[in-house]
Amino acid sequence: MAMVSTYCPQFSGLRRSCPKLDNSQSQCFVQHISSQFRLSSSRKPCRAVVAMAGSGKFFVGGNWKCNGTKDSITKLVSDLNSAKLESDVDVVVAPPFVYLDLVKASLTDRIEVSAQNSWVGKGGAFTGEISVEQIKDLGCKWVILGHSERRHIIGEDDQFIGKKAAYALSEGLGVIACIGELLEEREAGKTFDVCFQQLKAFADAVPSWDNIVIAYEPVWAIGTGKVATPEQAQEVHVAVRDWLKKNVSEEVASKTRIIYGGSVNGGNCAELAKKEDIDGFLVGGASLKGPEFATIVNSVTAKKVAA
């Protein structure tokens, strides 16, 4: 292994680039990749699952975005309250701000409630914003930050998002930290570059990774019906986990859940869930349908095997 101990594959774009290797080098290189990119190889699994590189609990979030009325949300909450959900999954839903209190007061405690955004600091004269303190006052435990619609429509940049995450974490909220590339960035081979830059902005600002879930959401797959293949999603999740290992710590890389978002539905969730580095989902449109959202939550069974 000494021959390859200093070899470091470079992420120059979508895929890892490496020089051509002869047969003997290839065998060692495969062993090297096994040890470097499969963080699970030296860890004992925390439960009877297959294809789980991280050590965290499966996590499924539902982002309701700017959808719903009192009547439709009351119906959705009723459907969620009656759904049978696997026990070994953290489940969170993010209603529109104006319905946070309604949902928190009527939704089963089995499901936690998240806000979809928060202000960068303490509340005050910031028209139209919602503060972390207000979110906590309603009993919510999570906030979604860095979603592509906030980045590309509202114009929030990486550093601003990082500061928002840092403040939310410092006040005790968990953060669902979104990253992901545009279609033109993927086609230009810049997927990893974009994701790593967005990750770095979080890493430079946050006090701890203990209450962060990373959501990889390729922008070209959000609400378009186009879904990254399980292999495409897995490839980026592997790279993200490796980035955490190299730039934060091996412990953080293992513990941090990396979930996938982008047109996830009841029909494709099981195949995606089988992938080793996909630790759950952030769901958009399908989270507005109680039974389908329950199917996605229960896709954790795709990872289970006999002990």
pTM: predicted TM-score of the whole model, two decimal places = 0.83
Domain residue ranges in the chain? 58-119+127-306
Q: 74 by DSSP, 3-state: which?
A: helix
- Give me the tens of pLDDT residue by residue for the chain, a chain 307 residues long: 333 333 333 333 454 443 444 444 444 433 443 444 343 333 444 444 455 676 789 999 999 999 999 999 999 999 999 999 999 999 999 999 999 999 999 999 999 999 999 999 999 999 999 999 999 999 999 999 999 999 999 999 999 999 999 999 999 999 999 999 999 999 999 999 999 999 999 999 999 999 999 999 999 998 888 889 999 999 999 999 999 999 999 999 999 999 999 999 999 999 999 999 999 999 999 999 999 999 999 999 998 752 2
Residue among 181, 185, 217, 235 flagged as catalytic: 217
Distance CA 166, CA 13 (A): 28
Residue among 112, 147, 149, 237 flagged as catalytic: 147
The torsion angles phi and psi of 10, rounded to 5 degrees, stand at: -105, 140
Identify whether the C-beta of residue 181 lies closer than 8 Å to the C-beta of residue 190: yes
Query: Degrees (nearest 5) of the Cα angle 35, 181, 301?
Result: 55
Verify whether residue 147 is a known catalytic residue. Answer: yes
Give the ranges where 6-115 is alpha helix by DSSP (H). 23-37, 70-82, 100-106
| CATH of segment(s) 58-119+127-306 | 3.20.20.70
Q: Which long-range contacts (CB under 8 A, 24 or more apart) does 265-270 make?
A: 265/292, 265/296, 266/292, 266/295, 266/296, 268/227, 269/295, 269/296, 269/299, 269/302, 270/299, 270/302
Q: 57 by DSSP, 3-state: which?
A: coil
* CB hemisphere CA count around 1 (13 angstroms): 8
Verify whether residue 32 is a known catalytic residue. Answer: no
